């Protein structure tokens, strides 16, 4: 029972981190129908920002979240201006984004690998190796903190999207661009800002990832598939879906890893991806493709 609770809590913590990792991906898809395969490498960019801030000036990775977010958002805005804004009106746009973002991921991966080499890195703040006991349940602080911080950011994002005028405009744009334009929404600007927010979320996730996983530039290839399975389960474009998908799969995979075999835990993601695509391609809460 203790072991079950422990695995459950760790699975939920990790689930929130996964949810943060995919929140930007699903937001960007929702608003612009861009399947951003470069999202994981942007997370790694964020991880590098936090890593170097920690190494060079000793800044705690949780505190460097805003900086990592801003740096990656700026990078994202440049990418958006360079390759997406021009193509936004074309008919084959949605399909083309897969190729464009794949190419972008390769380029950033190439640059990072060249500059930093593919050695494993981890940020090691003091709490990274610490843990607390709640009763008999053992909880590593790194997982606990990263889960809590992720959930706070996700709630903040949800509140912004639900209640602010700009947030409602973002949701309106993701439903129907033309209708949004016709009530006076500057859709181009909304797209640019949404892309920036999506990338900022990737950067923020990167800061957390930097101390709970070890990372290296090419690791993003492995994450793409996992992240896709999370958003496909929840439904592309739905934040609620992404969070539920992330937590469910994270818990299931932790359970499988703990009680069956660690070798099978990653399989959970791919198996789920496979099954969902066969049974309900739209996911649990997905938007219809148009």
Partner 1 sequence: MNSLLNINNLTAGYGYGPDIVRDFSLTLNKSEVKCIIGPNGAGKSTLLKSIAGILKPRSGEIFFDGEKISEKEAYQIMRLGICFLPQERAIFPNLTVAENLRMCAYSIKDKKVAEARIKEAIEMFPVLGQRLKQIAGTMSGGQQQQLVYARAFTIKPKIIMIDEPSLGLAPSLVEQTFNHITQIASSGIAVILVEQNAIRGLETAGYGVVMDLGKLVFEKPAKEVLQDQSLRELYLGKALEK
Interface residue list for partner 1 (CB under 8 A): 165, 168-169, 171-172, 175-176, 178-188
Minimum gap (Å) between residue 14 Cβ and partner 1:
30
- Residue number with CB closer to partner 1 (117 or 188): 188
Q: Determine the Cα–Cα distance for residues 84 and 99; give it in Å rounded to an integer.
A: 12
Q: Are residues 207 and 64 in contact, defined by beta-carbon separation less than 8 angstroms?
A: yes
Q: Which is nearer to partner 1, 79 or 172 (CB)?
A: 172
Closest distance of CB 175 from partner 1, Å: 5
DSSP lists the bridge partners of residue 131 as 140
Can you tell me whether residue 174 is helix, strand or coil?
helix
Query: Would you say 165 or 263 has its CB closer to partner 1?
Result: 165
Distance of alpha carbon 84 from alpha carbon 45, whole angstroms: 20
CA distance 103 to 135: 49
Between CA 203 and CA 25 the distance in angstroms is 12
Looking at the Cβ atoms of 142 and 172, the one nearer to partner 1 is 172
- Minimum CB distance to partner 1 smaller for 57 or for 165: 165
Taking alpha carbons only, the member of 3, 6, 20, 4 closest to residue 247 is 20
Q: How far is the CB of 98 from partner 1 (least distance, A)?
A: 23
Nearest-approach distance from CB 161 to partner 1, in angstroms: 11
Provide the minimum distance between the beta carbon of 287 and partner 1 in the complex, in angstroms, as a whole number.
8
**Nearest CA-CA partner of 237 in 14, 36, 18, 15:** 36
């Amino acid at each position: 029972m203790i072991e079950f609770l422990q695995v459950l809590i760790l699975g939920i913590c990790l689930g929130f981190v996964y949810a943060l990792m995919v929140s930007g991906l699903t937001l960007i898809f929702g608003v612009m129908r861009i399947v951003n395969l470069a999202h994981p490498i942007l997370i790694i960019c964020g991880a590098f920002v936090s890593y170097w801030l920690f190494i060079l000036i000793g800044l705690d990775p949780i505190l460097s979240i805003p900086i990592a977010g801003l740096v990656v958002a700026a990078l994202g805005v440049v990418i958006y201006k360079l390759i997406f804004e021009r193509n936004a009106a074309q008919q084959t746009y949605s399909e083309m984004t897969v190729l464009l973002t794949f190419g972008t991921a390769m380029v950033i991966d190439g640059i990072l690998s060249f500059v930093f080499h593919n050695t494993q890195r981890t940020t090691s703040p003091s709490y990274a190796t610490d843990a607390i006991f709640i009763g008999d349940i053992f909880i590593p602080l790194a997982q606990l903190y990263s889960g809590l911080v992720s959930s706070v950011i996700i709630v903040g994002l949800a509140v912004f999207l639900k209640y602010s005028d700009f947030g409602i405009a973002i949701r309106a744009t993701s439903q129907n661009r033309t209708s949004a334009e016709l009530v006076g929404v500057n859709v181009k600007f909304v797209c640019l800002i949404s892309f920036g927010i999506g990338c900022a979320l990737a950067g923020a996730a990167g800061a957390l990832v930097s101390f709970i996983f070890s990372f290296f530039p090419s690791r993003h290839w492995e994450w793409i598939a996992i992240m896709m399975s999370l958003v496909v389960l929840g439904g592309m474009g739905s934040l609620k879906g992404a969070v539920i998908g992330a937590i469910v799969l994270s818990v299931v995979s932790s359970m499988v890893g703990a009680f069956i075999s660690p070798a099978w835990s990653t399989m959970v993601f791919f198996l789920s991806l496979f099954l969902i695509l066969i049974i309900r391609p739209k996911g649990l809460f997905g938007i219809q493709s148009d």
